[in-house]
């Protein structure tokens, strides 16, 4: 089946530093990738939709200048948490659609997630 | 009101039991429906899609009632390995396919 990887799997950093998380589709091309965040005991919440070759679409309440998304190729999207603070500590998960012509029924494949802890 | 609502549980059941989870969604424009399973500190994994005609996969049966905006999941003959959080998920018609997750229902199957 389709595989999506994320790197790093876990990161611990000091407050004020920036952290880059990579999401790769390993055996398919993805024109769209999604970035989700999950706080403890909460549901996964969509942060933004990453579109190859164009700007990401952010959900309401998500600061685009703080969470920088770059989808430079059909197999790679990156999320950079700039000037991270303890409240940004969370589980960040990406997903990707293998289908090129997007329909809302396309299956999504999830990366294994990145656990960010900001001290 | 959250767009997808689930009873958080936990449901503590013995091995072999039958357990049912329910989910309601508020947006009538929701088009696609799924149950995902999430193990502790892991990414969600697709369990099954949900259709109005019902969908069965082994011990798992999912059902959608569009009129009531209600989704169910039935697990028969529970195994220890079924212990996880079960996420009810919808996709809105016309969206780019992003998933809207419920908070999940935690299941713990005991020996």
The per-residue pLDDT for range B44-92, each reduced to its tens digit, is 999 999 988 889 999 999 999 999 999 999 999 999 999 999 999 998 8
Give B 69-98 residues with CB within 8 A of chain A.
Answer: 87, 91-98
Cα–Cα dist B73/B22, whole Å: 7
Chain A partners of B92 at a C-beta cutoff of 8 Å?
Answer: 104
Q: Give the pLDDT confidence score for residue A106 in this predicted structure.
A: 57
Neighbours of B30 (CB within 10 A): 22
Cα–Cα dist A41/A44, whole Å: 10
A42 interface with B at CB cutoff 8 Å: yes
Contact B46 A107 (CB under 8 A): yes
pLDDT band of residue B30 (cuts 50, 70, 90) is: confident
Q: Which residues of chain A have pLDDT under 50?
A: 101-105
Chain A residue nearest residue B8, CA to CA: A41
Give Cα separations from B3 to A55, A84, A104, A106, B101 (angstroms). 26, 29, 17, 20, 8
Q: Give the pLDDT confidence score for residue B21 in this predicted structure.
A: 95
Cα–Cα dist B59/B82, whole Å: 11
């Amino acid at each position: 089946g389709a595989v999506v990887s994320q790197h790093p799997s876990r990161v611990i950093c000091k407050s004020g530093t920036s952290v880059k998380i990579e999401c790769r589709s390993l055996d398919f091309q993805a024109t769209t990738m999604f970035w989700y965040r999950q706080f403890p005991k909460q549901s996964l919440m969509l942060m933004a939709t990453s579109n190859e070759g164009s700007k990401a679409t952010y959900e309401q309440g998500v600061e685009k200048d703080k969470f920088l998304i770059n989808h430079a190729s059909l197999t790679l999207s990156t999320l950079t948490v700039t000037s991270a603070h303890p409240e940004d500590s969370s589980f960040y998960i990406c997903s990707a659609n293998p289908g090129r012509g997007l329909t809302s029924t396309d299956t999504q494949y999830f990366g294994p997630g990145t656990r960010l802890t900001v001290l | 009101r959250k767009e997808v609502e689930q009873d958080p549980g936990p449901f503590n059941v013995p091995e072999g039991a039958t357990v049912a989870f329910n989910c309601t969604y508020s947006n009538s424009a929701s088009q696609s429906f799924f149950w995902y399973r999430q193990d502790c500190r892991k990414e969600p994994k697709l369990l099954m899609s949900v259709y109005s005609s019902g969908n069965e996969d082994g011990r798992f049966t999912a059902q959608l009632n569009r009129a009531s905006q209600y989704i169910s999941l039935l697990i028969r003959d529970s195994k220890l390995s079924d212990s996880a959080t079960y996420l009810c998920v919808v996709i809105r018609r016309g969206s780019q396919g992003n998933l809207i997750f419920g908070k999940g229902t935690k299941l713990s199957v005991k020996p």
